[in-house]
Amino acid sequence: MPRFSKAVSSLRSSEIRDLMTLASRPDIISFAGGMPGNELFPVEEVEELFRGLDLKKKQAAFQYGPTPGLPSLLESLAGFLETKGLPVNENRLLITTGSQQGLNLLAKAFIDPGEPVLVENPCFIGALSAFRANEAELRGVPVDSDGISMEALHQELDRKEKSKFLYITPYFHNPAGLLYTTERKAQLINALQGKNIPLIEDDAYGDLYFYEEDRPRLMPIKAINPAGINVCYTGSFSKILGPGLRLGWMLVPEKIYQKCELIKQSADACSPSFTQVLADAFIRSGQIYTYIAGVRQEYKRRAGAMVDALREYLPDYVQWNEPRGGFYIWLTLPEGADATPIMMEAVEGGAVFVAGKTFDPEGKRNNSLRLSYCNNTPEQIAEGIPIVTAAIRKYCG
Q: Which amino acid is residue 26, in one-letter code?
A: P
> Options 1.20.140.10, 3.40.50.720, 3.40.640.10, 3.40.250.10; which CATH number does 63-287 get?
3.40.640.10
C-alpha torsion sign, points 206, 207, 210, 214: positive
If you average pLDDT over every residue of the chain, what do you get? 95
DSSP per-residue string spanning 83-141: TTT--GGGSEEEEESHHHHHHHHHHHHHPPTT-EEEEEES--HHHHHHHHHTT-EEEEE
Whole-angstrom distance, CA of residue 180 vs CA of residue 195 = 21
Average pLDDT for 190-209: 97
The alpha-helical segments, DSSP class H, found in the chain are 6-9, 15-23, 43-51, 55-61, 71-82, 98-110, 125-133, 150-157, 182-192, 221-224, 254-267, 273-284, 287-313, 339-349, 378-396
Q: Is the pLDDT of residue 25 over 90?
A: no
Determine the pLDDT at residue 389: 98
Determine the pLDDT at residue 10: 62
Whole-angstrom distance, CA of residue 261 vs CA of residue 270 = 10
Q: Is the pLDDT of residue 348 over 70?
A: yes
CATH H superfamily, domain 6-42+289-396: Aspartate Aminotransferase, domain 1 (3.90.1150.10)
Domain ranges of the chain: 6-42+289-396, 63-287
pTM of the model: 0.95
Task: Place 98 in a pLDDT band, splitting at 50, 70 and 90.
Answer: very high
Distances in Å between the Cα of 232 and the Cα atoms of 137, 167, 178, 189, 202 are 20, 9, 20, 13, 8
Task: Place 19 in a pLDDT band, splitting at 50, 70 and 90.
Answer: low
Task: Place 21 in a pLDDT band, splitting at 50, 70 and 90.
Answer: low
Task: Place 1 in a pLDDT band, splitting at 50, 70 and 90.
Answer: confident
pLDDT tens, residue by residue, 241-286: 999 999 999 999 999 999 999 999 999 999 999 999 999 999 999 9
Average pLDDT for 285-309: 98
Determine the pLDDT at residue 22: 62
Equal CATH topology for 6-42+289-396 and 63-287: no
Determine the pLDDT at residue 3: 78
Average pLDDT for 353-382: 96
Query: Is 135 in contact with 6 (CB distance < 8 Å)?
Result: yes
Average pLDDT for 330-345: 97
